[in-house]
């Protein structure tokens, strides 16, 4: 049986997307706002993530415990996340329990209590979340990389905020940001599973009958790409955790499909050049990988590797050779076809469950104002040629586009600075 996707825009701007999967027993629900940490001012850094936590603390009709019990007694689970450009509250449960799942999430999405006592308590919880991240070098490196790539810009600030910024987030700041961010014009509800579009639309119309349309929040434009460097000296870790990145394609860039394939070839899987060289042939690391970050007007392709400090010079030499080879010559046709098969295959496998279909519908509707057909995306990936991969590598892998960040022993810093100087 095949899935069918439908969308409807309500009078107050709320967009509803459904993926009808009649062969499934479950339904996955996502309530999205197209706002995240990049919509914050410097003095309110962390407020989008803070609100994500606080929405679970209750409404006038439901306590925090009631919210949990109402969802879990349905046989469902509930979670949320905040990113730079969106916040999502999502649940998955039996399809026949869709209506009470929607009712509960719609209530706390629109009518959070924001009790001052809850705000104080949750501030302590998030401080512990931040401290836990600081104890993990790889996670600490993520914030360090963003700060190096986009200094003095919302994209470069930690999504969680900092202990200092959390102290400034009082009830008035929280309420003001929620009023601006949680509006019909920037809200999406996506549902996938054994559902029908018309029934979902009727439920959302009922639950959002009094929800204001509002106006979209405007994010500060991304700055022009520039090189960056950040180093955090720590003598309490055995490895150096290294990120080498390059400003890349934004969400609407026509070259983004070539960049996706470049990422696969570089370090996304075990067949990639980085994995084969650094782990399989040289045996100088356990973890090596590459990834992309894509925003509305900015992007970033980067690789991560953790290794003993004494192996850093050899690693940098190998990474430099691999990046240079991508710049100088296109990949072999067979290698590129394998990368296409991997990328498309993983996409199709991921979309076999309700949560992934719900996430795809919500994310693409927010980002592109339409639910993208995965097979159209796959066709664009198939159309990428070896010269196109070389072209995007030449565009990205340049000294004036290079961002290096690391966490590790202070003796690693001059090694990295010397490598940057000759890249």
Q: Are strands 187-193 and 15-20 parallel, antiparallel or unpaired?
A: parallel
Do residues 174 and 54 make contact, with C-beta atoms less than 8 angstroms apart?
yes
User: Helix, strand, coil: what percent of the chain each, to 5?
Assistant: 50, 20, 30
52 is catalytic: yes
- Edge to edge, the sheet with strand 187-193 lists 4-9, 15-20, 187-193, 26-33, 87-94, 77-82
| 73: CB partners within 8 A, 6+ apart | none
Q: What torsion, rounded to 10 degrees, do the Cα atoms 248, 251, 252, 254 define?
A: 50
162 is written with which tokens? 């900092």
DSSP symbol at 209: T
Sign of the dihedral defined by the CA atoms of residues 134, 139, 144, 150, in that order: negative
User: What phi, psi does 149 have (nearest 5°)?
Assistant: -75, -35
Give me the catalytic one of 44, 52, 85, 363.
Answer: 52
Radius of gyration of the chain (CA): 23
User: What phi, psi does 351 have (nearest 5°)?
Assistant: -85, 15
Distance of alpha carbon 26 from alpha carbon 71, whole angstroms: 14
Do residues 162 and 144 make contact, with C-beta atoms less than 8 angstroms apart?
no
What's the chain's length in residues?
423
Distance of alpha carbon 381 from alpha carbon 385, whole angstroms: 9
Half-sphere exposure of 381 (CA within 13 A, CB side): 24
Question: How many CB atoms lie under 10 A from the CB of residue 414?
Answer: 10
Counting runs of H as helices and runs of E as strands, what totals does the chain give? Answer: 16, 11
Distance of alpha carbon 258 from alpha carbon 382, whole angstroms: 10
β strands within 234-374, DSSP E: 240-247, 287-294, 299-307
What DSSP string runs through 123-164? Answer: HHHHHHHHHHHHTSHHHHHHHHHHHHHSTTSGGGS-TT--HH
Say which residue the tokens 């080879």 belong to: 325
Q: Which residues are catalytic?
A: 52
């Amino acid at each position: 049986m095949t899935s069918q996707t439908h969308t409807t825009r309500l009078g107050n701007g709320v967009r509803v997307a459904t993926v009808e999967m009649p062969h499934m027993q479950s339904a996955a629900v996502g309530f999205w706002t197209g706002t995240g940490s990049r919509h914050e001012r410097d003095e309110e850094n962390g407020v989008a993530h803070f609100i994500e936590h606080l929405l679970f603390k209750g409404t006038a009709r439901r306590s925090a415990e009631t919210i949990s019990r109402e969802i879990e007694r349905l046989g469902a689970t509930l979670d949320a996340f905040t990113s730079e450009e969106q916040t999502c509250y999502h649940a998955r449960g039996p399809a026949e329990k869709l209506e009470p799942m929607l009712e509960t999430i719609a209530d706390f999405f629109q009518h959070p209590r924001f009790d001052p006592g809850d705000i104080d308590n949750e501030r302590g919880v998030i401080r512990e979340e931040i401290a836990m991240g600081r104890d993990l070098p790889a996670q600490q490196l993520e914030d360090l990389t963003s700060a190096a790539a986009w200094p003095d810009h919302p994209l470069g600030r930690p999504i969680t905020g900092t202990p200092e910024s959390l102290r400034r987030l009082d009830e008035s700041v929280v309420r003001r940001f929620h009023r601006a961010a949680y509006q019909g014009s920037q809200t999406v509800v996506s549902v996938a599973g054994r559902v029908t579009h018309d029934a979902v639309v009727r439920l959302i119309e009922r639950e959002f009958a009094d929800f204001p349309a509002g106006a979209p929040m405007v994010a500060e434009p991304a700055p022009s790409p520039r090189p960056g460097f950040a180093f955090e000296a720590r003598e309490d870790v055995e490895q150096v955790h290294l990120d080498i990145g390059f400003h890349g394609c934004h969400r609407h860039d026509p070259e983004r499909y070539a960049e996706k394939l470049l990422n696969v070839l570089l370090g996304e899987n075990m067949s990639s050049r980085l994995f084969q060289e650094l782990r399989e042939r040289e045996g100088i690391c356990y973890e090596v990988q590459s990834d992309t970050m894509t925003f509305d007007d900015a992007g970033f392709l980067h690789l991560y590797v953790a290794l003993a400090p004494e192996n850093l010079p050899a690693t940098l030499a190998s990474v430099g050779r691999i990046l240079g080879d991508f710049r100088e010559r296109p990949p072999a046709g067979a290698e590129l076809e394998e990368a296409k098969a991997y990328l498309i295959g993983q996409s199709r496998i991921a979309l076999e469950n309700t949560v992934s279909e719900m996430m795809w519908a919500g994310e693409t509707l927010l980002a592109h104002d339409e639910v993208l057909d995965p097979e159209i995306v796959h066709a664009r990936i198939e159309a990428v040629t070896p010269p196109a991969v070389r072209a995007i590598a030449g565009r990205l892998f340049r000294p004036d586009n290079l961002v290096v960040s690391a966490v590790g022993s202070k003796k690693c810093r001059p090694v990295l600075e010397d490598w940057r100087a000759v890249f």
